[in-house]
Chain A
Amino acid sequence: GAVVSQHPSRVICKSGTSVKIECRSLDFQATTMFWYRQFPKQSLMLMATSNEGSKATYEQGVEKDKFLINHASLTLSTLTVTSAHPEDSSFYICSAWGQGVSDTQYFGPGTRLTVL
């Protein structure tokens, strides 16, 4: 099956710094990638949808200037949390879909972000 990876799996940073999280589709071309956020013991909430070569579409309430998403190639999307604060600490999960590849999204293993 299709494999999606994320890097890093865990990151700890100081408040005010920026953190970049990578999401890669390893064995297929991802037409669309999704970024979700999961708070402890809660469900996943979609943050944004990105199509290769296009600007990301953000869900209502998600600050696009704070959560920068880039989908520059068909196998890589990045989420940059700018000027991170403790309230940004969360589990970030990406998923990917490739047109003609599958009829569903494949999820990455997630990235645990802790902002001190």
Chain B
Amino acid sequence: AQSVTQPDIHITVSEGASLELRCNYSYGATPYLFWYVQSPGQGLQLLLKYFSGDTLVQGIKGFEAEFKRSQSSFNLRKPSVHWSDAAEYFCAVGPPIPDKLIFGTGTRLQVFP
């Protein structure tokens, strides 16, 4: 079965602290992996994506993610969180051609000053 698991429903960090959001996937073919961010009442903004090549990908807003095939994981990281990073983060997996994306249940990030 195809699925995406984000084990952490809610994470709270202090501003300036490092961040790691976990994502594990189950997919029958070569996965194309994505991280999106959603602010309250807003649509989705693509942070980064992995298709192939270097397993460490850089995205916008200082985020990066590492693809680990052996662990079926695609964790999102940021070395120093800003208050404006507070939002909902979704990991997603899909096929090579843009098609149905399977989303995780999301992780809500709260940032304390």
Contacts and interface: CB of A to CB of B under 8 A. Distances in A.
A59 B45 CA distance: 24
A42 interface: yes
Contacts of B90: 43-44
Contact of A104 (B45, B46, B106): B46
Given A42-B105, A43-B103, A32 B43 contact: no
Interface in B54-111: 90, 98-101, 103-106
Given A103-B51, A104-B34, A97 B41 contact: no
A45 B78 CA distance: 27
A93 B42 CA distance: 9
A107 B43 contact: yes
B98 A109 contact: no
Counting contact residues on chain A (CB < 8 A from B), the size range is: 20 to 34
Contact of A43 (B45, B51, B105): B105
B98 A105 contact: yes
B103 A107 contact: no
Contacts of B105: 42-43
A43 B98 contact: no
Given A43-B90, A103-B51, A32 B98 contact: yes
A106 B41 CA distance: 17
A49 B42 contact: no
Contacts of A112: 41
Contacts of A32: 98-99
Nearest to A42: B105
B10 to A, nearest CB: 10
18 contacts: A32-B98, A34-B100, A43-B104, A43-B106, A46-B100, A46-B101, A95-B44, A97-B98, A102-B98, A104-B49, A105-B98, A107-B36, A107-B44, A107-B45, A107-B46, A108-B43, A109-B42, A110-B43
Given A43-B104, A49-B100, A104-B34, 9 more contacts: A6-B43, A43-B103, A44-B90, A59-B100, A91-B41, A104-B46, A107-B36, A107-B43, A110-B41
